[in-house]
Amino acid sequence: KYGIQCDWKKGYATLALNERRMDDLIEMEKASHATFGYDKMQLWDKAKLKQHLGSDIYVGGLYDSNSGHLHPLNYCLGLAKACLDLGVQIYEQSPVVDLVEKSGCIEVKTDKSAVISQDVILATNAYIDALPKSIHHGINRKILPVESFIIATEPLDQATADSVINNGMSVCDNNILLDYYRLSADNRLLFGSDSSSEKDMVQIMRSNMLHVFPQLENVQIDYGWAGPIDMTLNASPHFGRISPHIYFAQGYSGHGVALTGLAGRIIAEAILGNDERLRIFEGLKVPSFYGGKSLKNLATKIGVLYYKFLDRYR
């Protein structure tokens, strides 16, 4: 609709590292068709997968021709431009220090000024602990910030790029702490993992990448970066209301590029008077985690070790 230039490309595959995990994908394909009437998924055996992916470590996969990948920053900037073109005002570097509900309005206090609003949405993702408790009212207990790390190779020549992925799809495995990767528009391999470590994560990511694609041994790594993902304990999204006019959306659990757009639409519908879809999400059970930041960090480290164990032996 808004002509956002963000390198959108269709094709997404979820891959299994053993036969037990392949059974999970088989069940997923059955459920998507029987329950949701979705017919864009195809089960690929090892031979079919090898036609498009240059790795020998997987036993098969589930390919979705209707999903895909994009450049998330350019998508975000494109959404912001579309908003500005429609008359929306965006203010950055304006930290909110308090919300005060008054009769018929909400005063949003920043460090230097205040804004009077009819409705407020808390959309802070994994950074909610930066807000005072008087603002978030404890919904930070629903999420744990889990670090995700990504590396980007130097641009690959076309033959090397095709030796990795030759159909432009994005890929992840179906571990709990998963690897995910794709080729960028300039033929860099972006390779990431959801895990936490105090070690040199660029080297760890490179080692993980070479486990999947040993043919990239002589390829240079140009960039590496990390950031927190807001995970809920059961990977269910957490959308709802603190009060009739203060909404929140969090707990995307690694699916935020698409799910944030849906969250925005659902909350907008509720603000305009139709909260039918928001009430469905409010009915989801999302366990709470009790404890301060230090306990959260400890729980995250223990959880990573536990899920690594499960990924290795299940």
Kind and range of the H or E run holding 174:
none
Question: Which of 3.30.70.1230, 3.30.9.10, 3.40.50.10330, 3.40.50.300 would CATH assign to domain 9-73+145-231?
Answer: 3.30.9.10
Give the percent of the chain with pLDDT over 90.
77
- Inform me whether the pLDDT recorded for 7 exceeds 90: yes
Cβ density class 31-58: b for 16+ within 10 Å, e for less: ebeeeeeeeebeebeeeebeebbbbeeb
Distance CA 54, CA 51 (A): 8
Q: What value does the mean pLDDT take over residues 226-254?
A: 93
More confident position, 122 or 102: 122
- Inform me whether the pLDDT recorded for 305 exceeds 90: no
Q: What value does the mean pLDDT take over residues 84-89?
A: 96
Quote the pTM value. Answer: 0.87
In total, the chain counts a number of residues equal to 314
- Inform me whether the pLDDT recorded for 32 exceeds 80: yes
**Residue 262: what pLDDT?**
96
- Inform me whether the pLDDT recorded for 186 exceeds 90: yes
Nearest to 65 by CA among 35, 18, 32: 32
Instruction: State the span(s) of the chain assigned CATH 3.50.50.60.
Output: 91-143+233-309
Q: Domain spanning 91-143+233-309: which CATH class is it, in words?
A: alpha beta
**Residue 309: what pLDDT?**
46
Nearest to 237 by CA among 254, 213, 220: 254
Are the C-beta atoms of 18 and 176 separated by less than 8 Å?
no
Instruction: State the span(s) of the chain assigned CATH 3.30.9.10.
Output: 9-73+145-231
